[in-house]
Chain A
Amino acid sequence: AQSVAQPEDQVNVAEGNPLTVKCTYSVSGNPYLFWYVQYPNRGLQFLLKYITGDNLVKGSYGFEAEFNKSQTSFHLKKPSALVSDSALYFCAVRDPGTYKYIFGTGTRLKVLA
């Protein structure tokens, strides 16, 4: 069965510092991987995806993610965090051959001024 794991419930980082939010996955076949962000009292918004190609994927708001096949990871990164990046971040995988998405449990990012 396909699954994703987000090992950290919360990540705290100082404004201006680099941030990493971790995600590992387990899929059969080639993974379709995604990051979504949720601001308070809002639905999820798409940040970026990996389907194929370059292992470093760039997305919205200066975020990027690195696909690592040997470590089955897809960590979200940003070189310089902003207070406005504080939100709940979800990693997701699409079940190949279907349109079902499986989401991780989410990581709350807190950027401190």
Chain B
Amino acid sequence: NAGVTQTPKFQVLKTGQSMTLQCAQDMNHNSMYWYRQDPGMGLRLIYYSASEGTTDKGEVPNGYNVSRLNKREFSLRLESAAPSQTSVYFCASYRAGESTDTQYFGPGTRLTVL
């Protein structure tokens, strides 16, 4: 039981390049989330998927796209990376109705855009 896994752990991109951040969970959770963490800004929600087949914008969706590939996987795509997207990205999952009502976080992806 690995929980929430993210790949890659680190990535350096040049401005304008594209990439996809991968996230998978093995806890049979319905909801999945992508956040970015920046100093002094805390965690900000980029996109979330309440259930398989649905996605919704969060607080800072511009410049990103997401795909909920199946119940386990939720990917985040940067089509044309910009230096403002330098950040640490966290994926999280949550199962509706779970008694603890908590999110489980992956270890993060540290992205630098030059």
Contacts and interface: CB of A to CB of B under 8 A. Distances in A.
Interface of A: 6, 9, 32, 34, 36, 41-46, 49, 51, 90, 94, 98-106
Interface of B: 4, 31, 33, 35, 40-45, 48, 50, 56, 58-59, 90, 92, 94, 96, 100-108
A90 B42 CA distance: 8
Nearest to A6: B42
B42 A106 contact: yes
Contact of A43 (B45, B100, B105): B105
Given A43-B108, A46-B102, A49-B100, 7 more contacts: A43-B90, A99-B96, A102-B45, A104-B42, A105-B42, A106-B42, A106-B43
B99 to A, nearest CB: 10
Given A34-B102, A100-B58, A44 B42 contact: no
A46 B100 CA distance: 9
A43 B48 contact: no
Given A42-B107, A90-B43, A99 B94 contact: yes
A5 to B, nearest CB: 10
A72 B59 CA distance: 23
